[in-house]
Chain A
């Protein structure tokens, strides 16, 4: 177990470890509203994500968390609002363009390439970084081969990091759910993202798997310096992992602050206990 995780585990409930301080804003969403026909999925939500932090997005079912990630990585285009990424206001873009700017993500329901092995799935994360053209590829020789091997080496590094060496050659469809989630994280990491969006990375996992996943998330943040936005229902995990938390409810922002502040917020407590809205 890494020290970072040990610290975090101990800190749950115990006096908070000194908060990490982040100054530079990586991404900010301003006054975002998104609706599908009559359904308002997000209403006037603003928050920011600082370079290097782990930012949690929480809220009850249907609060608009996944929709928010979809807005950030270009699947949904909000009717209103503005996204600023790395200092620039971002134009409307498709997910593949967002990927080019260094945004990677995992899905709430695992979205792996079922017909491919673990290794190939992770190698797809390197696609944008591979430059050799078609003809070199068809020859699989010289620069194309060198490039392939160089990326294989990077991928092996991630495989070691996430401790999935033994399933390298296994078709991902045959893996248990927990490992599939881990492979999906590996694929996202292979992109060397600036911003990693994780949609419920621990859903459906047992305690042990959750601990592993928490440790990986902390290590990714620590070793690669990747900024992480994380949706998670398990409040214990959120308290342990995140630097700051934004709480959504019925598409609106309810609270925003450190885990401590948020957990003491009366509106948040009400929302989670299901106190009816006035």
Chain B
């Protein structure tokens, strides 16, 4: 069947406001979700899950978090790594202090300290914008990593300075700790991404999202329609940091299992920012595409030449990766600020007209 909207008339505003107003899109999305939850865990091997899918999902969550702040509300942040660390250390403290607390609750609560810290470091955004704000959030990044490194209480005075996720179950299945299978951890990460993607999308297509985008696009005009810049920006920092905090909790407990503060350094902040830029600023779909793209490309660069009989070595692959990312970021920043998500949309528009040139 051709991909067409013709003949599909929306008879209610409700139908018109749906996330995927075109039925074909809706079915594709349902199919992808079903595949992800059912087919993937039974087909994918340990390597695929642990090396690609779990990190891609965890970073998707972080990218959604940052995109809420930077893509939708227009506030540039380089503190993502620090906010993720807040979530990770909160998970560690909560799960060791309250061993009987359900790990799901622990993850959800872990976002709260991150939200509070995000709010605090968001205060300068009331006065400063763009580059200067980025520098202020950079301060948050360095301060938080320093703090978690320095104050031994955060890692329970463990002489090695690492935090390790204690074994916990969810619905009878082990999801953290050495016993947890990759399938179980994958499903937890997937569940969080699905849930947060939906909540974020809902938030952004309603009143809250419009207020944030108004602040992003023109703060003077936002004020005359009654938006308070102060509370709006702080809310964006809080919500964004909450999501990043939960992503940090998963990054620690579900993906890596055991981390030091180095796992949350500035390179993580940049990595998530690149995902958002390449995927598409102001797009939830873009956050997903960007995170998967940036996780998968390095693996392709190491494996594809080898499969073709051209072993290029790890060092060269790493160089190639930097070149590819650098070039893509420049390309997207200059040519297509809406990223992969926009390219996808253009492809769909072409498909809608196909086979006619216009």
Contacts of A114 in B (CB 8 A): 217-218
Task: Give A149 Cβ to nearest chain B Cβ, in Å.
Answer: 5
The answer to whether A127 and B17 have CB atoms under 8 Å apart is no
| Contact A124/B218 with A116-B210, A138-B202, A149-B13 known, Cβ cut-off 8 Å | no
Q: Once bound together, how far apart are the Cα atoms of A124 and B217, in whole Å? A: 12
B220 at the interface (CB under 8 A from A): yes
The answer to whether B206 and A96 have CB atoms under 8 Å apart is no
**Interface membership of chain A positions 81-114, coded 1 if the CB is closer than 8 angstroms to chain B and 0 otherwise:** 0000000000000111011100011010001111
Q: Once bound together, how far apart are the Cα atoms of A137 and B235, in whole Å? A: 14
B279 at the interface (CB under 8 A from A): no
In A146-163, the 8 Å CB interface with B consists of: 148-149, 152-153, 156
Which stretch of A35-43, A128-136, A214-222, A236-244 is in the interface?
Answer: A128-136
| Contact A149/B220 with A123-B210, A137-B207 known, Cβ cut-off 8 Å | no
| Contact A100/B226 with A132-B207, A140-B206, A149-B17 known, Cβ cut-off 8 Å | yes
B323 at the interface (CB under 8 A from A): no
Task: Give B103 Cβ to nearest chain A Cβ, in Å.
Answer: 22
A78 at the interface (CB under 8 A from B): no
| Contact A127/B227 with A134-B208, A148-B17, A156-B13 known, Cβ cut-off 8 Å | yes
The answer to whether B207 and A127 have CB atoms under 8 Å apart is yes
Task: Give A125 Cβ to nearest chain B Cβ, in Å.
Answer: 6
Q: Once bound together, how far apart are the Cα atoms of A212 and B181, in whole Å? A: 67
| Contact A138/B217 with A128-B226, A191-B225 known, Cβ cut-off 8 Å | no
B223 at the interface (CB under 8 A from A): yes
Q: Which of B13, B221, B235 makes the CB contact (< 8 A) with A152?
A: B13
Task: Give A181 Cβ to nearest chain B Cβ, in Å.
Answer: 13
Task: Give A42 Cβ to nearest chain B Cβ, in Å.
Answer: 20
Q: Which of B17, B220, B225, B228 makes the CB contact (< 8 A) with A125?
A: B225
Contacts of B206 in A (CB 8 A): 130, 137, 140, 144, 148
**CB nearest neighbor in B for A100:** B226
Task: Give A114 Cβ to nearest chain B Cβ, in Å.
Answer: 5
In B149-207, the 8 Å CB interface with A consists of: 199-200, 202-203, 205-207
| Contact A127/B218 with A138-B202, A140-B206, A149-B13 known, Cβ cut-off 8 Å | no
| Contact A127/B13 with A96-B226, A100-B226 known, Cβ cut-off 8 Å | no
Contacts of A107 in B (CB 8 A): 221
A139 at the interface (CB under 8 A from B): yes
- B interface residues, tally (CB under 8 Å): 31
Q: Once bound together, how far apart are the Cα atoms of A187 and B227, in whole Å? A: 14
In B275-313, the 8 Å CB interface with A consists of: 282
| Contact A187/B225 with A113-B217, A116-B213, A148-B17 known, Cβ cut-off 8 Å | yes
The answer to whether A115 and B282 have CB atoms under 8 Å apart is yes
Contacts of B228 in A (CB 8 A): 96
Contacts of B235 in A (CB 8 A): 134
Could you say which of A95, A96, A156, A191 has the most chain B C-beta atoms within 10 Å of its C-beta? A96
Contacts of A137 in B (CB 8 A): 202-203, 206-208
Q: Which of A100, A111, A148 makes the CB contact (< 8 A) with B221?
A: A111
Q: Once bound together, how far apart are the Cα atoms of A96 and B220, in whole Å? A: 10
Task: Give B55 Cβ to nearest chain A Cβ, in Å.
Answer: 26
Contacts of B357 in A (CB 8 A): none
Contacts of A134 in B (CB 8 A): 203, 208, 235
Contacts of A112 in B (CB 8 A): 217-218, 221
The answer to whether B224 and A120 have CB atoms under 8 Å apart is no
B214 at the interface (CB under 8 A from A): yes
Task: Give A65 Cβ to nearest chain B Cβ, in Å.
Answer: 17
The answer to whether A111 and B220 have CB atoms under 8 Å apart is yes
**CB nearest neighbor in A for B223:** A95
Q: Once bound together, how far apart are the Cα atoms of A125 and B224, in whole Å? A: 9
Q: Which of B199, B207, B217 makes the CB contact (< 8 A) with A115?
A: B217
The answer to whether B217 and A96 have CB atoms under 8 Å apart is no
Contacts of B282 in A (CB 8 A): 115
Q: Which of B14, B208, B216, B222 makes the CB contact (< 8 A) with A145?
A: B14
Q: Once bound together, how far apart are the Cα atoms of A163 and B311, in whole Å? A: 63
Task: Give B241 Cβ to nearest chain A Cβ, in Å.
Answer: 15
Contacts of B205 in A (CB 8 A): 140
B247 at the interface (CB under 8 A from A): no
| Contact A152/B225 with A113-B213, A124-B210 known, Cβ cut-off 8 Å | no
**Closest 9 A/B residue pairs (Cβ):** A99-B226, A140-B202, A113-B217, A111-B221, A128-B226, A95-B223, A138-B199, A130-B207, A152-B13
Given A111-B220, A113-B216; 13 other pairs, CB 8 A cutoff:
A75-B220, A96-B228, A98-B224, A112-B217, A112-B221, A113-B222, A116-B217, A127-B225, A127-B227, A137-B208, A148-B17, A148-B206, A191-B225
Cβ contacts A to B, 11 pairs, < 8 Å = A94-B223, A95-B223, A96-B224, A96-B229, A99-B223, A100-B226, A113-B217, A124-B222, A127-B210, A127-B226, A137-B206
